[in-house]
Amino acid sequence: MRILSGIQPSGALHLGNYFGMMKPAIELQHQGEAYYFIANYHSMTSLFDAAERRKNTLDVALDFLACGLDPAKSVFFRQSDVPEVAELTWLLTTVTPMGLLERCHSYKDKVAKGIAPSHGLFAYPVLMAADILIYDSNIVPVGRDQKQHVEVTRDIAIKFNELYGQTFVIPEPQIRDEVALVPGADGQKMSKSYGNTIEIFGEEKATRKKIMSLVMDSRSPAEPKPDAANNLAIQLLKLVAPAEVAQDFENRLAAGGLGYGDLKKALFEQYWDSFASARARRAELLANLDYVQQVLREGAAKAKLVARKVLDRAKLASGLD
């Protein structure tokens, strides 16, 4: 079974990225051949600063490795180190109906958020389809917001296969219900573009401040809160704390007598502790950047072998070779 996922180097990674995509991806690396990449071509649709892209790319590599991506198990690489994917994108664009792209939410959402509408931004799901199809991927672990793109990928692959004969493997998205949508500091979906993120490796003081200012209601500590399960701090606590600890806080909130200040303090402490070993690993990696670059180089070499084979298959099928 081949597992594939990608993440854009468009800003500091946060708990939504971690629980929605990175943690499931890291756990899956024991169950098949995993291919994970830093989607730097994709980031060109919304980030126009070269130095920032370079820095973010390195940060994603450090974050992912620190969180447990094991280069002995997974192939980890930079998207642009396998430029075959750009060639496959062209082949796929020619069989992609306009209507399929016009229906994609992400283009409309991003334009609404002020990102300049470009052809790249519009056609981005086709590049994502090429990312997935070029590695004969079976399973694509992602957060819920990416589900539509995997469905577009399936449609494109089916169309190409119908036109040119069996060429591509049809992939399946894998979305974990319990972390499909991690809420941010304001209760909306946690996202870099909403300014509501809690970073995985945020600076201690700033992150404590962010967590202490989570938006709560004005009920007094004494008041029982039967809706404790929906409380934002409880939802986040369930992600970062052992289940029994989170359950205990939820019970105390429901019974009354637990103040939001104490709850948020506990949330910060659990968050900070849960990433302590990853934080230490990240500091080691930061002092050993040659190793990180080598991991990405070796990953790209392995990825290229598969990508070349699948691209050649598609070129042969479509009469280019």
* Binding residues for ligand ADP, total number by CB under 6 A: 20
Shortest Cβ distance from residue 5 to ligand ADP (Å)?
Answer: 7
- Which of positions 9-48 make contact with ligand ADP (CB under 6 A)? 10, 16-17, 20-21
- Please give the residue ranges that form the binding site for ligand TRP (CB under 6 A): 4-8, 39, 42, 128, 131-132, 140, 142, 146, 149
8 Å CB contact between 42 and 107 = no
Instruction: State the minimum distance, in angstroms, from the CB of residue 215 to ligand ADP.
Output: 16
Q: Left if phi > 0, otherwise alpha if psi is -120 to 50, otherwise beta: which for 257?
A: left
In the complex, which residue's CB is closest to ligand ADP?
20
**Other CB atoms within 10 Å distance of the CB of residue 117:** 11
Least distance in angstroms from the C-beta of 192 to ligand ADP: 4
Burial of residue 93 (number of CB atoms within 10 Å: 0-12, 13-18, 19+): middle
With CB under 5 to 8 Å by kind, the binding choice for 17 among ligand ADP, ligand TRP, none is ligand ADP
How far apart, in whole angstroms, are the C-alpha atoms of residue 170 and residue 176?
20
Q: For the beta carbon of residue 194, count every other beta carbon within 10 angstroms.
A: 14
Q: Which segment (111-119, 141-149, 241-249, 280-288) binds ligand ADP by CB under 6 A?
A: 141-149
Nearest-angstrom CA–CA distance, 181 and 233:
15
Please identify which residue in the block is written with the tokens 């280019």: 320
- Interatomic CA distance for residues 85 and 211, integer angstroms: 40
Task: Show which residues are catalytic.
Answer: 110, 189, 192
Say which entry of ligand TRP, ligand ADP, none residue 231 contacts (CB below 5 to 8 A, set by partner kind).
none
* Buried-state track 7-40, b at ≥16 Cβ within 10 A, e below 16: bbbbbebbbbbbbbbbbbbbebbeebbbbbbbbb
Q: Which of 143, 171, 173, 299 binds ligand ADP (CB under 6 A)?
A: 143
- 191 interface partner picked from ligand TRP, ligand ADP, none, CB below 5 to 8 A per type: ligand ADP
Site string (176-195) toward ligand ADP, x via CB under 6 A: ---xxxx------xxxxx--
- Give me the DSSP letters along 139-186: EEE--GGGHHHHHHHHHHHHHHHHHH-S-SPPPEEE--GGGSS-B-TT
Pick the closer one to ligand TRP by CB: 38 or 62. Answer: 38
CB of 193 to ligand TRP, least distance (A): 11
131 binds, among ligand TRP, ligand ADP, none (CB under 5 to 8 A by kind): ligand TRP
Structural contact between residues 20 and 179, judged by C-beta atoms closer than 8 angstroms: yes
Q: Is 215 in contact with 187 (CB distance < 8 Å)?
A: yes
CB of 294 to ligand ADP, least distance (A): 25
DSSP state of 278: H
146/167 with CB nearer ligand ADP? 146
> In angstroms, rounded to a whole number, what is the distance separating the alpha carbons of residues 50 and 80?
14
Q: Which does 6 bind (CB under 5 to 8 A by kind): ligand ADP, ligand TRP, none?
A: ligand TRP
Kindly state the smallest distance separating residue 143's Cβ from ligand TRP, in Å: 7
52 makes contact with ligand ADP (CB under 6 A):
no
7 binds ligand ADP (CB under 6 A): yes
Q: Given the rule CB under 6 A, which residues bind ligand ADP?
A: 7-8, 10, 16-17, 20-21, 142-143, 145-146, 179-182, 189-193
